[in-house]
Structure 1
Amino acid sequence: MNMEAFVLGCGGMMPLPYRHLTSVLLRRDGDLFLFDGGEGTQVSLRRLNLKWKKINAIFVSHTHADHVTGLPGILMLSSQVERTEPLYIFGPPKIAEYIETSRRVLDMYINYPIIVKEITEPGAVYSGDGFYVRAFPLEHTKTCVGYTLEELDRPGEFNPEQAQKLNVPRGPLWGKLQHGESVVNADGITVSPEQVVGKNRSGRKFSFVTDTLYLPSIAKEVMGSDLLICEGMFADDCSDQAKEKKHMTARQSATIARDAKVKRFAMIHYSPRYNDRELETLLSQAKKVYPAAELTKDRMRFEIPYVE
């Protein structure tokens, strides 16, 4: 089962000619999940030729303009095709008012159900086949949450050679063993799944964190992520400004990645004061803490493989 993340926009505060506002699309096989929807989200979706028509759910960190102004266009875009499946939208208080007001003022014709759920406490907010999405609190100038999409453990690998040695005939009995059931072999002896199936294998974890003060608690929430996309808005010389505006420096973002022992870490939501060349300063400071730190760029793709 493939999983990959597409950065639709990596900028903060205001769009630049070469940098749309923050938005990430996560694709897990046929399921699509949008994390924030800043201005320019539609443009990157079309340029990447992604199948945006079937976005399952949208997860909004908070209702500042640079994270939601792309959403009305996404809602209208989705109504251009036949769709019967509901679109779920999650976010802190006021996200329902924002969606409803946009629909009313813009006279949107929506031909599919939109289900908006406001997050009032941390915990699982959405689930599907073999995964769930969890929200956790951040600290910004208004209510803000981070998200993790976590897969459940996968069954261990089935050993057909061992099954044959134990005289279990190929066919339905193998399937029962793989689904955790004991069976009786050709000799009338009971064979348990533990004899032919390895230990459970871990699923994958994607984490999205933006617009927050540095909090040690964030590392616990994103612990062990296969991919952490986290804001790194300012360089060290703007640490006072970061604190005042309740944002993080690149170094603080890297500290979370290090403490959480994530497998891959990339920064997002840069201040518009930094052009692409100047972003190397943020990257250099982050690498002093987490040497494998990366910068996101618009329309960048991250593959999230299983770790066997």
Structure 2
Amino acid sequence: MELQFLGTGAGVPSKQRNVTSIALKLLDERNEIWLFDCGEGTQQQILETTTKPRKIGKIFITHLHGDHIFGLPGLISSRSFQGGETSLEVYGPKGIKSFIQTSLRVSDSHLKFQLNIIEIEETGLLFEDKGFKVYCEELDHRIKCFGYRIEEPDFQGELQVDKLKEMNIPAGPVYKRIKNGETVELNDGRVIDGKDFIGESRDGRIVTILGDTRYHPNSIKLGKNADVIVHESTFSADEGKMAKNYYHSTSTQAAKVAKEANAKQLLLTHISARYLGRAVYELENEAKSVFPNTKIVKDFDSIDIPLKRNQEEDENHD
């Protein structure tokens, strides 16, 4: 599981940062990429990476401001031109269907794949697919805006083959039954409980990606115990009044969300073009004063999200 930032700027593209788009790469988990927002020029940014548009299976739009959606028609059309034949699902606020359909119709674009556009009507569990769950909640922005929480299913403990071999239990179909946790009677009359031969399970990972917002309790709700929270940081700590007026967050407000949510890592994005060079690091340091494990990301940064350690690994690590 990996996050790759295709655009990390706010409002308009700049020489340093393109506008918002984030790829959640689930290639090992489900051979798929999920995109969060798709600002102008996103497909051009993709050309600088190893991402294949045909691998994009779902796109989640936080809100309908242009710096988050103007890249959608081009990306969807190019996905078709480049051999994408599998279906594509787009989730977003009411109005996203009209925007996409009108753009494709006016430009006489024809797709070779099934496009499903789902307008969000209720918050909470958005969908569950192959064990993955995605939740959404409304945030506090000038127009309707959502944040998303992606939960990976827990990993079953591994079958302790060495332990079975020590007990002279030969490999075969019985191993599958043991791995399923069944009580099994062996040919020699021994009865074993499969649960005794399964290692400790491992919690799935949690990723929270928030749209533009003021500081809001729903951000904390979505980020509860997350491995990573992606939060906007449009303004510096001393610009709280401006952040409130423009329905955005400061660096320290984002950090406060991560701290109160008990998250493991905070990634700051949606950086205003006014912050260059040293000023960017000042934003990061402001956030670190509240939540130390903070990083301001830049375009094309890739952040690996490692599997959680189980209790045995934690003890060995200590």
TM-score by length of 2: 0.92
Q: Which residue of 2 aligns with 1:50?
A: 51
- SS across alignment from 2:258: helix
Aligned length: 306
One-letter code aligned to 2:16 = Y
Q: Tell me by how many angstroms 1:89 deviates.
A: 0.1
Cα distance in 1 for partners of 2:262, 2:34 equals 24
Task: Confirm whether residue 28 of structure 1 aligns to residue 26 of structure 2.
Answer: yes
What corresponds to 1:19 in structure 2?
Answer: 17
**Stretch moving more, 165-174 or 245-254:** 165-174
Instruction: Tell me what 1:125 maps to.
Output: 126
CA contact (8 A) 1:229 1:266 kept: yes
Matched, 1:135 2:133: no
Q: Equivalences for 1:179-194 in 2 at 5 Å?
A: 179-194=180-195
1:273 positional shift: 1.9
Deviations 1:114-154 (A, max 9, x none): 10001111122233323122212111111111112111111
Q: 1:25 to 1:107 in 2, by over 3 A?
A: same
Q: Is the 8 A contact 2:35 2:59 kept in 1?
A: yes
Q: What is the aligned partner in structure 1 of residue 315 from structure 2?
A: none
1:1-308 aligned at under 5 Å gives the runs 3-29=1-27, 30-308=31-309
What code does the residue aligned with 1:229 have?
V
Contact 1:36–1:59 under 8 Å retained in 2: yes
Instruction: Return closer, same or farther for 1:221/1:307 CA change in 2, 3 Å cut-off.
Output: same
Give yes or no for contact 1:183–1:192 (8 Å, CA) kept in 2. Answer: yes
User: How far has the Cα of 1:87 moved from its partner?
Assistant: 0.4
Partner Cα separation in structure 1 for residue 98 and residue 303 of structure 2: 33
Contact 2:63 2:211 in 1 (8 A): no
Alignment partners' CA distance in 2, 1:256 and 1:139: 14
Could you tell which deviates more after superposition, 122-131 or 246-255?
Answer: 122-131
| Alpha-carbon displacement from aligned partner over 1:284-303 (angstroms, at most 9, x marks no partner) | 11010011210110000011
Amino acid at match of 1:268: T
Matched position secondary structure for 2:156: coil
RMSD over aligned CA atoms reads 1.5
Contact 1:12 1:271 in 2 (8 A): yes
Letter in 1 for 2:305: I
Q: Contact 1:168–1:186 (CA<8 Å) still a contact in 2?
A: no
Spell out, residue by residue over 1:175-212, the C-alpha distance to the aligned partner (whole angstroms, 9 max, x if none). Answer: 22223333222332332222101232101111101211
Secondary structure of the equivalent of 2:252?
A: helix
1:84 to 1:52, Cα distance in 2 relative to 1, 3 A: closer
Distance 2:187 2:10 in 1: 65
Distance 2:183 2:260 in 1: 41
CA distance in 1, matches of 2:277, 2:191: 64
- CA distance in 2 between partners of 1:199 and 1:49 (Å): 35
Could you say what secondary structure the match of 2:81 adopts? coil
Identical aligned pairs, as a percentage? 34
Match of 2:314 in 1: none
Instruction: List structure 1 segments (4+ residues) > 6 angstroms apart after TM superposition.
Output: none
Kept after mapping to 1: 8 A contact 2:136/2:222: no
Are the aligned partners of 1:138 and 1:144 in contact in 2 as well (CA < 8 Å)?
Answer: yes
Higher mean C-alpha deviation, range 122-131 or range 143-152: 122-131
Letter in 1 for 2:115: I
Task: Give the TM-score, by structure 1 length.
Answer: 0.95
C-alpha deviations, 1:192-251, integer Å up to 9, x for none?
222101232101111101211101332222112222111111102211011111111010
Q: Which letter does structure 1 place at the counterpart of 2:6?
A: L
Deviation of 1:166 after TM superposition, in Å, equals: 4.4
- Which one-letter code corresponds to 1:12 in the other structure? A
- 1:165, distance to aligned residue in structure 2 (A): 4.1
Q: Specify every segment of 5 or more residues in structure 1 that has no aligned partner in the other structure, as ranges.
A: none
